[in-house]
Amino acid sequence: MALLSVIRRWHFREQLSIRAIARRTGLSRNTIRKYLRSDAVQPVFRTPDRPSKLDSFAERLAAWLRADVRRPRKQKRTARQFHEELMGLGYDGSYRRVAAFVRAWRDDWLRQQQASGRGVFVPLAFAPGEAFQFDWSEEHAVIGGERTKLQVAHLKLCHSRAFLVRAYLLQTHEMLFDAHNHGFRVLGGVPRRGIYDNMRTAVDRIGPSRERQVNARFLAMASHYLFEPEFCNPASGW
């Protein structure tokens, strides 16, 4: 999950204060305040008035932590190792700041796992408003006397199984965004997280350790609607 999207969800959805978010992330309060006031949904790292030296490295560190949770326990890196790797990229701040960021990120990830009851499999029972699933299917219809191939967007609530289906000619970002917009409008709200496969409009690349490079436009949409995107492992739609 993108760090800016997490900050927006914590503040606007979970009502955390800027001070609490700064304590969790290790970022300066000015940096967090600028993001929240700008109405931006994509991170643009500018030098804040009172910067933390970690600010410009925060996205990189969060990406490393996301990759680490999928590694065997003995291969996971320590906060000290993260600090050394950041120093190799030019970070000259303290180890304490990095350790606070790592601890807060891991604590939040653990809380999410415990709150949702998630393990290796996507659970079959969901709380109201907890999650939705989104996917595409390819269908055909006769339009104007011609057999036409359609790309059909399916958005379904995991608890109630209420759903919306919309057909398009293409699977572009514009169609993806339109389907989500109408889905949330018709179903009456936005759940806390969305479950996806690794569709091209959401995931640009999957690395050897299953670390995903999530598409920037897709992340901007998730940040705008304040939900957490979650992806199935390749060839593991269950």
Chain segment 97-144, per-residue pLDDT in tens:
898 888 888 877 776 665 555 544 445 678 899 999 999 999 999 999
Phi–psi pair at 19, nearest 5 degrees: -60, -45
Q: 199-234: b or e for each residue (b if 16 or more CB lie within 10 Å)? A: eebbbeeeeeeebbebbeebbbbbbbbbbbbbbbee
Higher pLDDT, 35 or 216: 216
pLDDT category at 237 given cuts 50, 70, 90 is very low
Per-residue b or e along 30-48, where b marks 16 or more CB atoms closer than 10 Å to that residue's CB: bbbbebbeeeebebeeeeb
Could you tell me if residue 196 is left (phi over 0), alpha (psi between -120 and 50 degrees) or otherwise beta? beta
Helix (H) or strand (E) holding 203, with range, is strand 203-206
d(CA 198, CA 206): 9
Interval 152-204: pLDDT, tens:
999 999 999 999 999 999 999 999 999 999 999 999 999 999 999 888 888 88
- 75-102 pLDDT per residue, tens: 788 989 999 999 999 998 889 889 888 8
Which distant-in-sequence residues (6+ apart) come within 8 Å of 181 by Cβ?
A: none
Tell whether the model's pLDDT for residue 208 goes beyond 90. Answer: no
Residue type present at position 24: R
Tell me which of 115 and 207 has the higher pLDDT.
Answer: 207
CB 75 within 8 A of CB 96: no
